[in-house]
Structure 1
Amino acid sequence: MITVRDPHPWPATETEAEALQRRLRPRVRFDGVPEEVRYAAGLDVDYREDSDELVAAVTVLDLADLSVVDSAVVRDRPRFPYVPGLFAFREAPPLLDALQRLTIDPDVLVCDGQGLAHPRRFGLACHLGVLTDLPSIGVGKTPMGHYDPPGQNRGDWTPLHMDDDEVGRALRTRTGVKPVFVSVGHRYTLQAACDLVLTLTPTYRLPETTRTADHLGRQAE
């Protein structure tokens, strides 16, 4: 069962939230890959257009055939305002709740968002990885930083930079289709993160982890 290793009070202000990110940031590890990666969890949050509700959805996929073998959904309301760079304080609490409802423990968390590619180098994938001590990566649909377009072939990539730091990669998962943006969250290398994303994208631009979690969240009653 997934547990929160270092629970903390969720801040109420932007200043407190930024201070917490800075305090937790040194705990992120950027080395290593699990000895065996069989189960990958996709994490996504859907915001209802007709209410102030959100739905946090987690799916667990078996990498052997990318089938969904476990899932969990949590309905909640945002506990923090919409502030760029502080999305984790809206999304992490219900996602942690959903993770703790799983019956199969994933080997890696694949977040629909950022990891190191973040103004304080502590995006959602880092935050969840540190709190659970699970390997984690971020796969964003839009860049946080600047990059040169990668080649047009599947697997081509270029570095993603912020303030002269390399914080991730623009990775082409489908030939001729715009790239996704991969960054390390916790206990993963960037190369291994990109390899995993390519495994998770046999047909579409976005990883199957993201696609299945997104579908689950949208369909939840």
Structure 2
Amino acid sequence: MTIIRTPADEAEARAVQDELRARVVLDEPGPPPGTGLVTGVDVAYDDERDVVVAAAVVLDAATLAVVEETTATGRVTFPYIPGLLAFREIPTVLSALESLENDPGLVVCDGYGRAHPRRFGLAGHLGVLTGLPVLGVAKNPFTFSYDPPGDRRGDSSPLVADDGEEVGRALRTRHGVKPVFVSVGHRISLDNACAHTLALARDFRLPESTRRADALCRRALREATA
């Protein structure tokens, strides 16, 4: 089991980010889309009760059928600080992943990897701690700029930082529908991360992995706080 220590304050959390970011692997392509297993992870909070629930849903990448799903419930042990949200989520997400009977395969986060002010969002953090290939698919571009991609499914445009670095892509998963924002977490290329996202988003804007993990963690939170 991965042992996670909650940072004492914001300064310590940033120091942990700096240390772990140096261990991100960016030169591996990752698994081919449509093969093996893909696991979506997501969290839901009840801030009044300081409860967080994480869900992990394993899909067959070829059929998108659910292979396994699990949840974990924990306490919120770190304050809300933009750019440091991973420290609120990681312990419970890891508990959910570690309770799976199947190897998670590729992990898809509802959040960011390189598309993060410190280039180390939840997808990178989770990838380094688990050693798994991880990508992030977010609903908005955080603080980065982009030109709107074409209207067709599969069209994309770079998500660009102030220094000109491409930190991710705005990717159109449905014709004429707002794009999602894909970024690399660990052990996968950006091209492949986008290809996986399209393969997982066959019928909806968001990847099926994210949709199912979101629904499961919300349901589990309602049950945990009833």
The AA in structure 1 aligned to 2:192 is A
The AA in structure 2 aligned to 1:20 is V
The answer for the alignment partner of 2:200 in structure 1 is 200
CA 1:35–1:173: 2 relative to 1, 3 Å: closer
Is contact 1:33–1:135 with CA below 8 Å preserved after alignment?
A: no
Over 4 Å off, 4+ runs: none
Between the aligned partners of 2:141 and 2:205, the Cα distance in structure 1 is 15
CA 1:82–1:49: 2 relative to 1, 3 Å: closer
Determine if the alignment matches structure 1 residue 214 to structure 2 residue 210: no
Between the aligned partners of 2:54 and 2:177, the Cα distance in structure 1 is 28
The answer for the alignment partner of 1:135 in structure 2 is 133
Is contact 1:42–1:210 with CA below 8 Å preserved after alignment?
A: yes
Deviations 1:31-82 (A, max 9, x none): 2234564100101001137633121111000012101111111111211001
The AA in structure 1 aligned to 2:7 is P
3-state SS, counterpart of residue 27 of structure 1: coil
The answer for the alignment partner of 1:111 in structure 2 is 109
Q: For structure 1, which segment, 40-49 or 202-211, has the greater mean C-alpha deviation from structure 2 after superposition?
A: 40-49
The answer for the alignment partner of 2:186 in structure 1 is 186
TM-score after normalising by structure 1: 0.94
The answer for the alignment partner of 2:155 in structure 1 is 156
The AA in structure 2 aligned to 1:174 is R
Between the aligned partners of 1:105 and 1:8, the Cα distance in structure 2 is 20
CA 1:127–1:78: 2 relative to 1, 3 Å: same
Is contact 2:30–2:192 with CA below 8 Å preserved after alignment?
A: no
Which runs of 5 or more structure 1 residues have no equivalent in the other structure?
Answer: none
The AA in structure 2 aligned to 1:24 is L
The AA in structure 1 aligned to 2:159 is L
Alignment of 1:1-221 (within 5 A): 3-4=1-2, 7=3, 9-35=5-31, 37-48=35-46, 51-144=49-142, 145-163=144-162, 164-220=164-220, 221=223
The AA in structure 1 aligned to 2:197 is V
Cα deviation, residue 9, structure 1: 2.5
Between the aligned partners of 1:188 and 1:19, the Cα distance in structure 2 is 25
- In the alignment of these two chains, the number of paired residues is 217
CA 1:153–1:62: 2 relative to 1, 3 Å: same
CA 1:168–1:34: 2 relative to 1, 3 Å: closer
Between the aligned partners of 2:48 and 2:84, the Cα distance in structure 1 is 23
Q: Share of identical aligned residues, percent?
A: 55
Is contact 2:4–2:91 with CA below 8 Å preserved after alignment?
A: no
The AA in structure 2 aligned to 1:153 is R
Cα deviation, residue 8, structure 1: 5.0
TM-score after normalising by structure 2: 0.92
Between the aligned partners of 1:33 and 1:106, the Cα distance in structure 2 is 17
3-state SS, counterpart of residue 116 of structure 2: coil
Deviations 1:96-130 (A, max 9, x none): 01100000112111000000011111100000000
Between the aligned partners of 2:121 and 2:30, the Cα distance in structure 1 is 21
Question: RMSD of the alignment, in Å?
Answer: 1.4
3-state SS, counterpart of residue 22 of structure 2: helix
Is contact 1:172–1:180 with CA below 8 Å preserved after alignment?
A: yes
